[in-house]
Amino acid sequence: MVTPFKDDGSVDFAIAAKLASHLAANGTDTLVVCGTTGEAPTLTWEEEYELFQVVQQAVAGKAKLIAGAGSNSTQEAIAATRKAAKLGLDGSLQVVPYYNKPPQEGLYQHFKAIAEAEPDLPMMLYNIPGRTGQNMQPETISRLAAIANIVAVKESTGNLDQASEIQRLTPPEFALYSGDDSMTLPLLAIGGRGVVSVASHLVGLQLQQMIQAFEAGQHQVATKIHLELFPLFKALFVTANPIPVKAALKLQGWQVGSTRLPLADASTDLTATLTSVMSRLALL
């Protein structure tokens, strides 16, 4: 979920609660708060903990809540995960340590330590080499899947070969989620569970329709929806997420504010593209 900011740049908790409620009512099963889309790199831990609590209250009973609690420092990730567990959240999202490029064994030890620090809190691994500079290999994911509370991976490599390897090497109850809206349907075809979505801010109900149609065997219906929404999927990643999705929400009248620096506001070109794509999808 995006993190709304006021004009002065501070977090707008009231809008966050409203947006969370709205998303839960329109297709979202679980909200990820303070992930990449939530601008975690530029939030303070204090802002994050308050956001967890505000969103938790807003969606209580209607949607589950996962905390973005990852870091490229194992100690920091453990501390953040402990706080998420204390709040009674439903899980943590743990990104592959970025920038310091640990070797595969280091990745294994990192996630294992976090999992063991809070063995009752389910963990979703997050592999996104485009941002972290390091790909977590399917073998590493497979080793981690053997740990009881490591239950899922959010896969953002865009690589179907890697996804197939992960599926081959992990047990069926280990869930593969798409980290890219445009890859959701292809991944469902190889047993993926769903998507950690950005587009759901705008088309949550249609994404549910697509996933449920696929799971009910109505593949043509699911494909039609995927292809219909595909221009939106691409437009939301034309520049670094969440710049486009915040601009899109603002076009719909949501007061979510700008992104914090160093993320610059959407360019006029991007706004024009979004306006055109969203109009054609009856979203404006």
Partner 1 sequence: MTLVHPYRVAILGATGAVGTELLTLLEQRDFPIADLKLLASARSAGQTLSFKGEPLPIEAVDAKSFKNVDLVLASAGASVSKAWVATAIASGAVFIDNSSAFRMDPTVPLVVPEVNPQAAAAHRGLLANPNCTTILLAVAVYPLHQVQPIRRIVAATYQSASGAGARAMEEVKTQAQAILQGQEPIAELFPYPLAFNLFPHNSKLNEQGYCEEEMKMVNETRKIFGTPNLRVTVTCVRVPVLRAHSEAINLEFDQPFDVTQARNILSKAPGVLLVEDWQANYFPMPIDASGKDEVLVGRIRQDLSHPSGLELWLCGDQIRKGAALNAVQIAELLAQQNLIQPSIALANHSR
Active-site amino acid positions: 126, 154
Candidates 214, 267, 274, 229; CA nearest to 248 is 274
CB of 171 to partner 1, least distance (A): 13
Nearer to partner 1, 138 or 192 (CB): 192
Candidates 133, 175, 124, 183; CA nearest to 159 is 183
Element (H, E) at 52: helix 45-59
Nearer to partner 1, 142 or 218 (CB): 218
CB of 46 to partner 1, least distance (A): 29
Nearer to partner 1, 107 or 278 (CB): 278
Binding site for partner 1 (CB under 8 A): 22, 25-27, 29, 61-62, 64, 120, 148-149, 203-206, 208-210, 212-213, 216-218, 221, 224-225, 227-229, 252, 281-283
CB of 105 to partner 1, least distance (A): 28
Q: Is 282 exposed, middle or buried (0-12, 13-18, 19+ CB in 10 A)?
A: exposed
Using an 8 Å Cβ cutoff, are 263 and 39 in contact? yes
67 — phi, psi (to 5°)? -95, 130
Q: How far apart are CA 167 and CA 85, in angstroms?
A: 28
Tell me how crowded residue 207 is: count the other CB atoms within 10 A of its CB. 24
CB of 103 to partner 1, least distance (A): 31
Nearer to partner 1, 78 or 203 (CB): 203
